[in-house]
Every structure is written in structure tokens, then in C-alpha cells.
Chains A and B, each alone.
Chain A
């Protein structure tokens, strides 16, 4: 019953997304060309990957506000390593970005798990700290495109079966997380822990450990996105992706992930991210000033939350019959 409703929600969001794309394409045929659609997907790839990690965290009743700072710090470090040692193979740099991201994410996880500090406080703190550390390691300097090696910059752009590697990486992570959540014991634990922590403990699950894992995975994905971001925009500086954490949370919320934990699907999150990407890409096509983008995503988030709440509402929540009526 619940699963059916959720499936319908993803379907609904998918239909809205298609309707949006078609409506724009009706006036502006250039919007729906394969090149442009491919462009939207590639532009949204990093958001999709980050939103997958964020979903795992939110599923366990936590939130990770440090993802953008993690991304920027990791991106800066690999860019500096690349500038300093251009001969280092790319695989080593990608591994390095994954490890740094994992490390930063597990710091969040340890603080939440062992000390029981509320996740929003922990990640507000590390958001500030990681951002500050970028300045310390880089001394405020930029790493520009000409300092980065050819391989470092171009690998995510190589076309494979018509799509750039960057997009394939996103698809790969989507599949991995989908399989992980659906068919592995640990993956099921994420949903159980968020859905009902007390029941999860009785079922023998370690709530704190699962939350730690979620933060670690979110950190790992942020780290890899650090490399992807820096190579895509060909520059690394202190303010890279500042404020992007809210867009990541927004993609999850639009995708139907419940902030109260335990509810969320990979399909929904991917559609949520694509929705934001499609809107962002559509504005210049329609000829609306890009300054509208923020206001539109804000409205979309609010509408999505209202719709989510209607679906999640359970009869047991009403305390007094008229507690909601008078206001």
C-alpha cells in the first residue's frame, strides 16, 4: 500500500517533468534536441550524485549540510596535487579525492555516532570548518585551467556511447545506490533505522553505526564530486559550490524524500535533481532572466513539501479533533 503510493509519486513527478519538457519544447523545439537533453543530464550529474548521498543520510533521520564544503575542499586538494605533480596518474587522484571525501564524511559520522551530537549542528560546524581549511591549504590562491593537466581536465568529458564519462559516472552511482538500497542487508537497514529507530534496535540494528555509514558514503560521494566539479569548471578556489548544499537537499525534498526519515526512492531523487536541472536549463532558452531561477526552485521546493506532507500524513497524528481547525 505504502510502496504503491510512493511508486505513484515517482510516476507523478516523472510525468510532471516530461510535461514540463514538452511544454517548453512546444514553443522552443531546440530545447528537446538530443544534444540539449544530454546537456541537461550532464549538467545535473554532480547534483544527482550528491543527492544520492544526501538521501542516504536523510533516510537515517540525519542531514548533511557539509557536502558542498567537502566537495570544494577535496576539489582544491586534488587540483593542487595535480598542479604540483602533473605526472601522477588520474586514477590515483580520483582515489585520493574519494579517500579525502570519505575521511571528511566519517568525521561527521563519528561525531553523530559516538557523541550523539545532533547532525544539523555537527554539519553546520564542519560546513564552516572545511570551507575555512580550503583557504588555509590554498592560501586563498586559485588553481586555474592552465595549471591542471590535460588528462585531469578532459577525462570526464570523453564521450562514450554518446554520453560524456561524467554522465556515466552519475548513472553508475545511481545503479549502485539503487541495488544497495533494494537488495543488500545494510541498504535495508537505512530504511529501517529511519522508519522506526526503536523497532530497528529491537531488530538488532545499530542506529548510530548506520548513521555513521550514511555520513561516510555521503562524504565519499562528495569527495568524488570534488574532482568532477573542479575538472568540469576548470578552476578551484575557496568559494567553489558555496551554498550548493541547499540545492542538494532541495533535490531530495522534490524527489519525495521525507525529512523525518525512512521514506525515499532513488528514482525520486534522480527525478528531483533532473527537475531542478531542467528548470535551470530552460530559463535561458525561454528567454527568462537567470535571476528567476532561485525564486522558481524555492517555489518548487515549497510545493513539493506540501505534496509530500499530504501523502505522508497518517491518521494517528491528530491529537485533538479541532487542534488544526481553528487556525
Chain B
């Protein structure tokens, strides 16, 4: 019978809270150990790795994805998912590009990026909560729709007339080697951590992910919370779009193609259960660092990007498989 619980996606166990905290702590410790090991390995295998500037460069390849991963973590804990985030990046970027062509200033551009992102998220949220649709299918649809709109507007063209001051969000530094992107990500991580782990809103998210029926009966407005989480996810994608567009300095409709899978990988690697109901922000943050370190370390060793996807994929599966195997061995 236990096999049945493993195999069905919608089963809810009777007792979930037993040993919840120690196990979670162990998960993050494990991840942290992995991160430390990769860091040491990188430092030993490349003389360029420990340079502060090269470490600072290393943060750029994951902060934008990690920013979205924070919001994605909340969604997945609430047992929903948003696969359209990368397409939202493209849509926001095209909107900003068009506005920049029309002569909009930096402040307006940022507002447009964030606004379009939040609207796109609200569209997802309205479809999922308003019609009661499965979010995985809805967001596969909007994945096509949002990027499709970007293609309709821009075709094979490019926007690159961004004002000079716009470059700060993706290329600027707050202090010494600390980039704006990185500092913003750390600040957001703290905010998301506090909201998820220290507020009643955060508890609602867990409750919804574990048992939406029970959550509804405890007076939680399940649909409204989910809707807000979709808006948040869109907003973070808009923010990532501002940073990415500013960093590359140009917009093509293919921008951030395929990012959604890397972001979901980051969240799952961080210990968030894809079935909903469990996970933590510190885990996701460490996972972001692990993925960033792996990508950057392999890059220093001249391993092509596509080969890194093997490492990421194996990591994703084994990080979930190993604890299951471990528990099974202990059970015997």
C-alpha cells in the first residue's frame, strides 16, 4: 500500500509534521556541504576562481533566475507551478524595448517591466483560480502565448536603444564587487524568507499545499492566496526582465529561452517538494548558489554550456533519489 502513496500525485499523508524540522535542516546542511565541496573543487582546479571580481562575475549567471526561483518556491509549496516565467521575461523585455524606442526614461521603463510582469502573472492567476484549471497546463499555454506576443511585436528584429542610466540594474555595482543584482537578490531572499517562515501568510501557503480542503475549512481564502502568488511570480519575472535586459543591453524575442526549466530545477534542488506543502527559502538560496558555482566552475574549465546541463540534470534527479534510497536502506 505504501507504494500506492508514492505513485499517486494527489495523496495526502495522515501525519506530516513528525520530524519535519530536523529533516529539513539536514537537507540544507547537505546542500551547503555540496556547495562547499564545489567551491573548494573550483578553487583548486582553476587559479582564476578565487579572484573577487571573478566570483562577482559568477553571481550574474544565476541571480536573475534565482530571483524568480524565490517566487516559484512559494507557488510550488502551494502546489501550483508557473512555467511561463521565461516567456514573461520576454514579454516584459519587448514592452520595455518598445517604450525605450518611443523615448521613455529609465524610471518609466522599470515601471513598465514590473507592471507587464504583474499583469501577466495576474492573467495566469485569474485562469487558474477563476476557472479552477491545472496550473501546469495553463502556464504551458501562456508560455506559448506570452513569448508568441513578443515574437508578434518584434519578429526577428531587435530593440537596443536603452538610455544609458538603464544599464545600472544589470551592470551596476552597489559597493566594490557587490553588484546591484546580487544585493537585490539577497535582500529579496530575506524578505521572502521572513514572509514564508515568519508570517501567517507563509503558514497559509504551506497549509494550501498540504491540504487545500482543510485550508479552506480553516478560513484561508485559498483562491485569493494562489492568485497573489501568481501575481508575485509574474512581478519577479518582470524584475528579472529589467535586470537581464539592462545587463545584455538589447531585446530579442528569444531572450531567456528555456529558463523556466532551470528555475524549477533550482527550486526542487533546494528541497521544495514538487507535490507541494514543504520546502524553505534558505534551501532555495543555497541551491541557487550550488547551480551558479557548478555552472561557473565548469565554465572556467572550458566545459561547454550544454554539457553543464548533464550535470544539472543528474544533480536534480540524484538529489531527490538519494534520500529515498537512503530511507529505503535504513528501512531494511
Query: Using a CB–CB distance below 8 Å, which chain A residues touch chain B?
Result: 61, 63, 65, 111-112, 115-118, 120-122, 124-129, 131-136, 140, 197-198, 201, 207-208, 211, 238, 242-243, 246, 249-250, 253, 259-260, 289, 291-299, 301-302, 305-306, 309, 313, 317, 319-320, 323-324, 326-327
Contact = CB atoms under 8 A, between A and B. Distances in A.
B140 A246 contact: yes
Nearest to A252: B137
Contacts of A297: 144, 148
Contacts of A289: 152, 155
8 contacts: A121-B274, A121-B317, A132-B311, A249-B137, A302-B138, A305-B137, A306-B131, A324-B132
A129 B4 contact: no
A115 B224 contact: no
A197 B257 CA distance: 36
A301 to B, nearest CB: 4
Contact of B144 (A133, A295, A306, A320): A295
Main secondary structure of the interface of A (DSSP, over half): helix
B316 A128 contact: yes
B144 A246 contact: yes
B254 to A, nearest CB: 10
Given A129-B310, A129-B313, A323-B223, A295 B145 contact: yes
Contact of B8 (A115, A197, A249, A301): A197
A283 to B, nearest CB: 12
A61 B140 contact: no
B145 A298 contact: yes
Interface in B102-131: 127, 129-131
B91 to A, nearest CB: 10
Report, nearest first, the 7 A-B pairs whose CB atoms are least far apart: A295-B148, A298-B145, A298-B144, A116-B6, A294-B148, A128-B313, A132-B310
A115 B323 CA distance: 10
Interface residues of B, number: 64
Best-surrounded residue of B6, B146, B217 (most CB of chain A within 10 A) = B6
A131 B309 CA distance: 8
A234 B309 CA distance: 26
Best-surrounded residue of A111, A249, A295, A319 (most CB of chain B within 10 A) = A295
Given A128-B261, A298-B146, A301-B141, A135 B307 contact: yes
A310 to B, nearest CB: 8
Contact of A208 (B7, B134, B306, B310): B7
A116 B323 CA distance: 12
Given A115-B325, A201-B4, A298-B143, A327 B129 contact: yes
Interface of B: 1, 3-4, 6-9, 127, 129-134, 136-138, 140-149, 151-152, 155-156, 213, 216-217, 221-224, 227, 253, 257-258, 261, 264-265, 268, 274-275, 304, 306-314, 316-317, 320-321, 324-325
A124 B143 contact: no
B317 A309 contact: no
Contacts of B132: 309, 313, 317, 324
Contact of B147 (A134, A294, A302): A294
Contacts of B129: 327
Given A243-B258, A295-B144, A132 B308 contact: yes
Given A291-B151, A295-B152, A132 B223 contact: no
A125 B9 contact: no
A302 B141 contact: yes
A305 B138 contact: yes
B321 A115 contact: yes
A250 B130 CA distance: 21
B145 A120 contact: no
A238 to B, nearest CB: 6
A126 B265 CA distance: 12
A247 to B, nearest CB: 8
